[in-house]
Structure 1
Amino acid sequence: MGNFGLLFEGFGVALTSYHIMIMVVGVLLGLVVGVLPGLGAPNGVSLLLPLTFTMDPVSAIILLTSMYWGALFGGSTTSILFNIPGEPSSVATTFDGYPMAKQGEAVRALTLAFCSAGIGALTGVLVITLLSGWVANFALRFGAAEYFAVYFLAFSSFIGMSTGSPFKTLVSMMLGFACATIGADTISGESRLTFDFEELIGGISFLIAVIGLFGLGELLTTMEENLEFHGVKAKLDIRTILRTMAELPRYWASILRSAAVGIWMGITPGGPTAASFMSYALGRRFSKNGANFGKGAPEGVISPETADHSAGSCALLPMLALGIPGSATAAVMMGGLMIWGLAPGPMLFTQRPDFVWGLIASMYVGNVIAVILVLATVPLFAFILRAPFRIMGPMITMVCIIGAYTVASHTFDIWLALVFGLVGYVFKKLDYPLAPFVLAMVLGHNAEDSFRQAMLTSGGSASIFWSNGLVATMMFLGVFFLLLPLISLVLRRAGINFRSRAIEKEAEAGSV
């Protein structure tokens, strides 16, 4: 029986009144988890996992994945309305989503985000349906060198595709790498850059940094520039939602490109966060309106959201087929599979096809339910922005502080969030981009571990990064993107020199 025949059997498992009710409950719980910046999908799924021990595995995994989709959508909501990413992968959405909300287009921004996210998620599930067997074999080719090559490609493409100063982008990324190295070394066990603070032994939580950089940093900037900030006036009109949905086909190129990036980064170990950043950078480079990115460009919302949810869907495939989780949430779900007595890997598709294909079918239905529910709540969330700043300011501050404390229940994390708030304020004043800093902080630790493992495997020889066609291709592309600003500068100066010499020859000919 082909994949589509198995999928139809999976729909027979998923499309029951009980499972549909579970999907609705899971999505609603995920929305709450995603809106609270201190929780996030991994923590939310972890909290919900003990409740699934008495459920059958199919119902349990449907509940957890539905919560996952809801958390991803909820993270986009706070990114657009308050400039506070509820999920790490929602950071890139703040760059244009929040400016759109400040311009009075909150409903349009939320609708663009939710619809493009739904398209990306369904595209990822379709890839899982079609390529589950092939992807499992492809992912087996990835070792430490290939993992590092993927991360290197993500970092270098952000530098190469940046429309700002490459130097500032590089400096911001280096500072992010420095923050990623804080804590105990995973190989030697020695502490690094802790400065005798015991609280830093475990490293700096990414959520703490994001809460400070975007939430508190934006509050400081607003207080300095406006002194009195009035809430965004969002028009509560269902026609705006329908008109925005009809607008989506205009951005088909951005959607296809972002979905492809998300599929690639989901199957490989890049993950949803790297996919959203890479897609945003590519969207800014190839868009006709690239200069408007960061000022409220619709494509700046569509690109990261499509890639984020496409990667989030595809990240479940390596977990099912190989037992290699493609994201933190997938790792928690894999722990659930083992508790339920299921062994992730290629044999899972043959031993428990009802479980695998019931899950895949529920991903189709769950994402459609998630899009419907979040679109129904758009007017509610937009109404929140009508509150004046004297109410919203303290509320946002309280959410940031509670979120920072919730991560590990440490008071020290609150002070750390305040420090990152000052860092975010300084970055904005000096016009340094925050995105490279965040990207390096998220992926820097994994990139370092992959690099060191590869070097230990090869006995210290860097030739391992060019040892086969797959890793060599990714490394070549990474080096090309890294040198792209320099190549563009040389070509631009050569063009200017050529043009000036042509003008001189024309002048000499005219004088003769």
Structure 2
Amino acid sequence: MMGNFGQLMDGFAIALTTQHVMIMVLGVLLGLVVGVLPGLGAPNGVSLLLPLTFTMDPISAIILLTSMYWGALFGGSTTSILFNIPGEPSSVATTFDGHPMAKQGEAVRALTLAFTSAGIGALVGVLVITLLSSWVANFALRFGSPEYFAVYFMAFASFIGMAGGSPFKTLVSIMLGFAVATVGMDTISGEGRLTFGLGELSNGISFLIVVIGLFGIGELLLTIDEGYKFEGVKAKLKLSTIFRTLAEMPRYWVTIVRSALIGCWMGITPGGPTAASFMSYALGRRFSRRGKNFGKGEPEGIIAPETADHSAGSCALLPMLALGVPGSATAAVMMGGLMIWGLNPGPMLFSTRPDFVWGLIASMYAGNLIAVVLVLATVPLFAFILRAPFTVVGPLIAIICVIGAYTVANHMFDIWLALIFGIVGYAFKKLDYPLAPFVLAVVLGDKAEDAFRQSMLSSGGSLSVFFETPLVATMMAIGFLLLLLPFISRVVGAVLGKGNAAEARDGRPA
């Protein structure tokens, strides 16, 4: 523990230089723009910024990306409350009570509740990373290829087992992601796969192109199709309202603690911020004494999803750094960035580049504080910007996406690929297929395949290698349990339903 504290202090010495603080401010401001513009979002915003970081040193680059991530999360809350349009998928639950409170003339109160609880949630998440990162990394040093495959298997199985929607749709999404991940040269045989004779596909499909298409162009097509109209609520910054709202936060400490724990768990497991915010909102309404007021402008209805959203967003970086398994779509994009910079996420990163890891963790504390201050100061500005018609905002988003796709490798072919994935993203949204499992499979598909094939080569083709040690056997068992969870839940629900029906019949008067 004391070792972690000493390394964290070294990290602060790296993160709190003038250059890095300026990068944090710039990243947060860029993130706010990304968050408040529907059609962008953190995964796409990070992917668009990634080409700009190729000439930067890795520490400055990751600080820029993580600061933009915090800004995007805060910006998504701004549009949810003022305009009832979530800039981020994870901000959807905030609209349920945030916008009704704003329409009642309490926009500043709603925003202050959101930003304060978001800051608390993010701080809890970073504390968890600080306390657990070295332990998780040391534990992961025991991993070989069977253990890594078991981790990947658990990650994919948890998406299926813990999915809020249809497990079948989640499975289809993962399988399609696997198909995209296999395009290009086979790492073992060297033969081309799924290239269809196109030389441009021989190096595979860049995950940047995938996320630009899915999250940028796909959301833009959806926005055009649904005909969003920006009708906002005016918000003037009043310091007295902010201080009054801050004073009432302690009375909601139970909701904050419960939501932060939910967020940390969903961030470390691949549930992600969106699932965390919805789960926290549902539990908040279930256990609150004012549950009937949820959806009408209830403060707990803002605090619960925002705290969980940001604690999950922070904790999602822990498995990415320590295990090489991202806990969210944005973490998956960041992991791709690490590999581009020549850094391999996983336990060895903590021993080979401690300056990078602890500089990043220290920057999270400062970046979140900067984000809270900047987001409160820029609320009136973004309220004004969002009054621009979609005929102005839409083309700007499209231009950003096209430029981002082209700058990945300076190929026109990548622009066409991004458009194709934009149509895929649009179809996913219309058919209610989840995008996060697809992105996860694109990023981890080849890693999972390599781990599986290496395990098979070392064991002579015997699947028993995945059950030889207690560690790998336990992880595989958890994975299979997660896969069967939807079926188990359905069986238990049916049994309980029959039991309740029988009790009702027995209790009826003759």
Is 1:259 aligned to 2:264, yes or no? yes
Q: Secondary structure at the match of 1:220?
A: helix
Task: Look up the SS of the partner of 2:393 in the other structure.
Answer: helix
For the residues of structure 2 that align with 1:38 and 1:7, how far apart are their CA atoms?
Answer: 27
CA distance in 2, matches of 1:357, 1:224: 44
Give the whole-Å Cα distance in 2 for the aligned partners of 1:261 and 1:446: 22
CA distance in 1, matches of 2:191, 2:377: 51
- 8 Å CA contact 1:258, 1:306 repeated in 2: yes
> Shift in Å at residue 314 of structure 1?
7.1
Q: Which residue of 1 aligns with 2:37?
A: none
2:146 is the counterpart of 1:145 = yes
Structure 2 residue 64 is the aligned partner of structure 1 residue 67? yes
Structure 1 383/11 Cα, relative in aligned 2: closer, same or farther at 3 Å?
same
Show the counterpart of 1:412.
413
- The 1:79–1:186 alpha-carbon spacing in structure 2 relative to 1, beyond 3 Å, is farther
Distance 1:431 1:314 in 2: 27
Aligned length: 462
State yes or no: 1:30 paired with 2:27.
Answer: yes
Contact persistence 1:39–1:406 (CA under 8 A): no
| Range moving further from structure 2, 412-421 or 279-288 | 279-288
The residue type equivalent to 1:146 in the other structure is E
**Conserved? CA contact 1:82–1:215, under 8 Å:** no
CA positional deviation for 1:178: 1.9
Distance 1:287 1:161, change over 3 A: farther
| Aligned-residue offset at 1:160 | 1.8
The alignment's TM-score, normalised by the length of structure 2, stands at: 0.72
Query: Please, which runs of 5 or more residues in structure 1 have no aligned partner?
Result: 50-59, 84-89, 320-325, 337-342
1:15-54 matches, within 5 Å, as 19-31=16-28, 34=31, 35=34, 37=45, 39-40=47-48, 42-49=50-57
Residue type matched to 1:23 in 2? H
Task: Sort the Cα spacing of 1:165 and 1:495 in 2 relative to 1 into closer, same or farther, 3 A.
Answer: same
Which one-letter code corresponds to 1:189 in the other structure? G
Report the Cα distance in structure 1 between the residues aligned to 2:8 and 2:177, rounded to whole angstroms: 46
Amino acid at match of 1:190: E
Q: Which residue of 2 aligns with 1:6?
A: 6
The answer to whether the 8 Å contact 1:3/1:129 transfers is no
Letter in 2 for 1:235: K
Q: CA deviation at 1:401?
A: 1.9
Deviation of 1:468 after TM superposition, in Å, equals 2.5
Aligned residues with identical type, % of pairs: 47
What is the CA RMSD across the aligned residues, in angstroms?
Answer: 4.6
Aligned-partner SS, 2:259: helix
Q: TM-score, normalised by structure 1?
A: 0.72
Once the two structures are superposed, residues 207-258 of structure 1 have per-residue CA deviations (whole angstroms, 9 ceiling, x without a partner) of 32333233333333333333xx422414333358778876684343121222
Amino acid in structure 2 at the alignment position of 1:253? R
Residues 476 and 119 (structure 1), Cα distance of their counterparts in 2 relative to 1, 3 Å cut: farther
Q: Does structure 2 retain, via aligned residues, the 8 Å contact 1:118–1:367?
A: yes
Deviation at 1:27, TM superposition (A): 0.8
Matches within 5 A, 1:102-501: 118-119=119-120, 122-123=123-124, 125-127=126-128, 129-130=130-131, 134-226=135-227, 229-238=228-237, 249=253, 250-262=255-267, 264=268, 275-276=272-273, 279=276, 283=280, 288=285, 298=302, 302-312=307-317, 327-331=335-339, 346=351, 363-499=364-500
Tell me if the contact between 1:65 and 1:363 (Cα under 8 Å) persists in the aligned partners.
no
> 1:140 Cα deviation (Å)?
0.9
Q: Judge which range, 242-251 or 438-447, deviates more.
A: 242-251
In structure 2, relative to structure 1, the CA distance for the partners of 1:8 and 1:92 (3 Å cut) is: closer
Q: Deviations over 1:249-270 (max 9, x none)?
A: 43431212222444x46xxxx7
Q: 1:180 to 1:373 in 2, by over 3 A?
A: same
Cα deviation for residue 169 of structure 1 reads: 2.5
Distance in structure 2 (CA, Å) of the matches to 1:398 and 1:213? 15
Cα distance in 2 for residues equivalent to 1:356 and 1:224 = 43
Do the aligned partners of residues 492 and 424 (structure 1) sit closer, same or farther apart at CA in structure 2, a change above 3 Å counting?
Answer: same
1:435/1:403 CA distance change after superposition, 3 Å: same
Residue by residue over 1:172-227, the C-alpha shift from the partner in whole angstroms, topping out at 9 and shown as x without a partner, is 3222222222222222222222222222222223332333233333333333333x
C-alpha distance in structure 2 between counterparts of 1:115 and 1:212, whole Å: 33
Shift of 1:387: 0.9
The residue identity in structure 1 corresponding to 2:185 is: A
The CA deviation at 1:300 is: 5.2
Q: Which is further off, 137-146 or 480-489?
A: 137-146
Post-superposition shift, 1:393? 1.9
**Does the C-alpha gap of structure 1 residues 79 and 478 become closer, same or farther in structure 2, counting only changes over 3 Å?**
farther
Distance of 2:156 and 2:431 partners within structure 1 = 22
Select between 418-427 and 492-501 the one with higher mean Cα deviation: 492-501
